[in-house]
Structure 1
Amino acid sequence: MAGPLEERFRTVRDLLPDYRVETTGGRIVVNESGTWQHNTIVFRLIRLLIGTVVDRGWEIWPNITVYTGGVDRYVPDLVVVPRSPLMRFDHAVQGDSTLLVADVVSADSAYDDHYVKPCGYAPAGVPLYLVLDPFQGAATLFGEPSGGKYRRETVAAAGEPLVLPAPWDRAVDTAALW
């Protein structure tokens, strides 16, 4: 991202350090910190993933920018990375150097989380993008990026297991998220 949008993005990010500032669809989006319900879902996801993450030497990073290579800069609710991931900037990990990126849908983010971000993450090589939607009571996992799109989209309703493919090779109990 070069030019006026990049300058505006950096200015807004610097002026509002306590907010999640991202560019989505070529526009600057400022998100307040999540509600207690939002943060509870993030915590429950971390609790479900932590055993595998620790066993494999990976890390969970909240509030880090995912560099997509395009004009957009997304700041998901959490990112799982391998040891020593490739960084674009101190505050931005390369999309293809992630293992899982996850967002919890808020009232203002549903369209971006379900439709815009998968179109940015897939070309960046993000292998798995998980969207947790408390309004629909469902988890959507986008996987197998190829040709700039995700080839697989799996939806699990609350209570259904959601299988995370390699390198995870495990199921997530979606009932524990809600």
Structure 2
Amino acid sequence: MLASEFEELARTAARTVEGARLEFIGGHIGGKALPDGDHGRIIQWLTRICMQHRPDLWLDPAQGLVIETYREGRARPDGLLVPADAFVGQGEWADPSPVLMVVEVTSYDSDTDRRDRKEKPRAYAESGIPVYLLVDRDSLEVKVHSRPDGARYERVETVPFGKWVELPESVGFGLDTEPLKNWVR
């Protein structure tokens, strides 16, 4: 499937199925689960922390990205840490170059393992996004992927919920992950 064909399919699905959020990664079409209340609360928590530490940036929860080596993929991250005007003038699927950090929060669905733990780290690293922050509600861990080499992230730091994790210099602050214990099943 061509990227343009996927974009048309995603537009049609969004118009006809309430809350439909499709992605196209690694040549596969996937649906992104609608976020539950805890998922939304985690994004709120991260937004507040980002605003406190980096008021020059915004954690955008809505923008789609053009990803992967040949720019054929399309992802809908849960959050993108970017300068406030990073996507002005761009459409539904934006260039990832201004993104400092991409955030994903796992959902309780069957595709989470393949999508959030395998395909997205590769796709985001190929796209040159400096940091991929995965809040993994299944394993009760935060994974900070950094140093993309064009094919993968060279560094992955994993900490259990409740521990402190320092984000790379491009982001420039750390997270006390204790509150995440409150937003899991």
Cα drift, residue 142 of structure 1: 0.8
Separation (CA, whole Å) in 2 of partners of 1:3 and 1:46: 32
The alpha-carbon distance between structure 1 residues 72 and 2, as it changes in their structure 2 partners (threshold 3 A), is closer
Alpha-carbon distance, 1:110 to partner: 2.9
CA spacing shift, 1:169–1:32, aligned 2, 3 Å: closer
Partner of 2:57: 58
What is the CA deviation profile of residues 102-141 of structure 1, one whole-angstrom value per residue up to 9, with x for unaligned ones?
A: 0100122232101100111111111111110111110001
Aligned-pair CA distance for 1:3: 5.3
Q: How many residues align?
A: 176
Deviates more, 1:33-42 or 1:82-91: 82-91
Cα distance in 1 for partners of 2:118, 2:158 equals 14
Amino acid at match of 2:117: H
- Following TM superposition, by how much is the alpha carbon of 1:14 offset from its aligned partner in structure 2, in angstroms? 4.0
* Alignment correspondent of 1:97: 98
Query: CA RMSD for the aligned pairs?
Result: 2.1
Please tell me whether the aligned partners of residues 132 and 144 of structure 2 are also in contact (alpha carbons under 8 angstroms). Answer: yes
**Retained in 2: the 8 A contact 1:143–1:150?**
yes
Cα distance between partner residues in 2 of 1:58 and 1:9: 28
Distance 1:9 1:27, change over 3 A: farther
- Residue in 2 that maps onto 1:158: 161
| Counterpart Cα distance in 2 of 1:93 and 1:29 | 19
Residue aligned with 1:48, SS: helix
After superposition, residues 66-81 of structure 1 pair within 5 angstroms as: 66-69=65-68, 70-81=71-82
With structure 1 as the length reference, what TM-score do the two structures score? 0.87
| Distance in 2 separating the partners of 1:81 and 1:131 | 17
Kept after mapping to 2: 8 A contact 1:127/1:145? yes
The change in CA–CA distance for 1:162 and 1:98 in structure 2 (over 3 A counts) is same
Map of 1:119 onto structure 2: 122
Indicate conservation of the 8 Å contact 2:166/2:175, yes or no: yes
Question: Residues 147 and 124 from structure 1, CA distance in 2 versus in 1: closer, same or farther, beyond 3 angstroms?
Answer: closer
Alpha-carbon distance between aligned partners in 2 of 1:59 and 1:40, rounded to the nearest angstrom: 17
- Work out whether 1:106 is the aligned partner of 2:69: no
Which stretch of structure 1 is more off in the superposition, 121-130 or 11-20?
A: 11-20
Normalized per residue, the structure richer in strand is: 1
Aligned to 2:178: 175
Length-normalised TM-score, structure 2? 0.84
Which ranges of structure 1 fall in alignment gaps of 5 or more residues? Answer: none
Identical columns (%): 26
